[in-house]
Amino acid sequence: MSHPYFFYAKPPNCELPLLGDAAAVTARKYLVIACIAVFSALGDAFLARGMKLVGVIDVHHLATVLTVLVNPFILIGIGCLFAFMYSYMTALSFADLSYVMPATAISYVVMVLLSMLWLHEHVGMQRWAGVASIVVGVGFVAGGPSRTEGVVPTGQAESSRGCGKR
């Protein structure tokens, strides 16, 4: 139990493909990134909706801050953000941060659409130009490799002892 990865079902540097072929790994990669984008945007939108109903809170009064936790929109938003965090950690387990962070920026597009359509916020041309630049940047990042070749992650410098020996 002293190994930091004791909760994994497999040693951390053994690759077990999801469906047994390269296409399955690609499908998994895009599914996880889609989950990150959707759960991040939904979580933020639900929090914003809940806070518009609650009104202004003062961080100097802890009881006031805690009262917002009974709002169903706030609770759903927190749940979505937990799902986002789980998806984000999953993505980081098979891809570099320098790939995951920009690729998941597509959530900004989803957020602007939710803000406009569900929260009825005004989205001007300057914001749409920013969203367009994000989409172009995501296109550049998504086209590249998701893992840096030849770099051994910290903590995994040992050989793949134990892989396939169960």
Q: Per residue in 27-85, pLDDT tens? A: 888 899 899 999 999 999 999 999 999 888 887 878 878 888 899 999 999 999 999 99
Runs of H (alpha helix) within 118-159 = 125-142
List all residues 6 or more positions away from 51 whose beta carbon is below 8 Å from its beta carbon: 57, 68, 74
pLDDT at 144: 65
Would you place residue 166 in the very low, low, confident or very high pLDDT band (cuts 50, 70, 90)?
Answer: very low
Residue at 159 is within a domain: no
Give me 16's structure tokens.
């077990």
Q: Per residue in 68-80, pLDDT tens? A: 889 999 999 999 9
The per-residue b/e assignment along 37-49, b for 16 or more CB within 10 angstroms, e otherwise, is bbbbbbbbbbbbb
Residue at 153 is within a domain: no
Of the listed ranges 88-92, 109-113, 133-137, the least confidently predicted one is: 133-137
Residue at 118 is within a domain: yes
Average pLDDT across the chain, whole number: 78
pLDDT at 9: 47
Residue at 152 is within a domain: no
Work out the angle at residue 68's Cα, subtended by the Cα atoms of residues 66 and 72, and round it to the nearest 5 degrees.
130
Residue at 29 is within a domain: yes
| Residue 109 CB-density burial (10 A; 0-12 exposed, 13-18 middle, 19+ buried) | middle
Residue at 74 is within a domain: yes
Residue at 9 is within a domain: no
Closest CA to 68 of 89, 47, 84: 47
pLDDT above 70 coverage of the chain, percent: 70
Would you place residue 140 in the very low, low, confident or very high pLDDT band (cuts 50, 70, 90)?
Answer: confident
Domain enclosing residue 138, as ranges: 22-142
Count of the separate structural domains present in the chain: 1
- Please, are residues 4 and 153 in contact by the beta-carbon 8 Å criterion? no
Would you place residue 150 in the very low, low, confident or very high pLDDT band (cuts 50, 70, 90)?
Answer: low
Residue at 6 is within a domain: no
